[in-house]
């Protein structure tokens, strides 16, 4: 789904390593090699080297993921999980909410933050209409609270 030259870690492997790190022992991308090299993951990803797990390499690979490919990847994953784990989706719950951010939209920083397309001005639950906000929708299964669909 996210093609690249056949060398080093794949984009999927970068995502897997980052997800495992966040779930077990969150650290910055700058510190990930130190964490990674002390785990058994180094056996699974024997071809991973210190320079490959730098923060810049993570960002280089994350830039390869388009909005369209995220949706396709998510659909494939959730379809397989629902089938393999026999998750009941006859009852689902919905959470729609928003939160504010401090992404500046004025004066000098406006040009720097123009590329942020998700955070927009609007009314949020905290009453902070002077700052940008992110709104999202999330649908989960009642059985296990498995996220089935999301949109920001």
The SS3 assignment for 75 reads helix
Alpha helices by DSSP H, the chain: 11-24, 32-36, 41-44, 55-62, 67-85, 109-113
Average of per-residue pLDDT across 47-70: 87
Distance (Å, rounded) from C-alpha 77 to C-alpha 59?
A: 22
Domain boundaries, the chain: 11-65, 88-151
Nearest to 2 by CA among 53, 52, 55, 74: 74
CA distance 57 to 35: 16
Mean pLDDT (the chain, rounded): 83
What's this model's pTM, rounded to 2 decimal places? 0.64
Residue 115 binned pLDDT confidence (cut-offs 50, 70, 90): low
For residues 11 and 64, the answer to whether their CB atoms sit within 8 Å is yes
Bigger pLDDT: 128 or 69?
Answer: 69
So what's the pLDDT on residue 108? 47
Q: Looking at 1-5, 73-77, 80-84, 95-99, which range is the least confident one?
A: 1-5
How far, in Å, are 8, 9, 31, 111, 146 from residue 101 at the CA level? 36, 33, 26, 17, 27
Within 10 A of 61 (CB to CB), how many other CB atoms are there?
21
């Amino acid at each position: 789904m996210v093609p690249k030259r056949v060398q080093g870690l794949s984009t999927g492997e970068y995502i897997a390593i980052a997800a495992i790190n966040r779930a077990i022992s969150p650290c910055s991308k700058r510190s990930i090699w130190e964490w990674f090299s002390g785990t058994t993951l180094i056996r699974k990803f024997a071809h991973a080297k210190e320079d490959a797990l730098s923060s810049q390499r993570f960002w280089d690979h994350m830039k390869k993921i388009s909005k369209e490919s995220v949706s396709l990847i998510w659909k494939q994953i959730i379809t397989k999980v629902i089938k393999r784990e026999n998750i009941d989706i006859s009852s689902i719950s919905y959470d729609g909410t928003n939160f504010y951010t401090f992404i500046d939209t004025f004066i000098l920083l406006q040009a720097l933050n123009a590329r942020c397309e998700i955070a927009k001005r609007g009314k949020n639950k905290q009453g902070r209409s002077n700052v940008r906000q992110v709104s999202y929708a999330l649908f989960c299964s009642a059985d296990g609270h498995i996220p089935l669909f999301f949109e920001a």
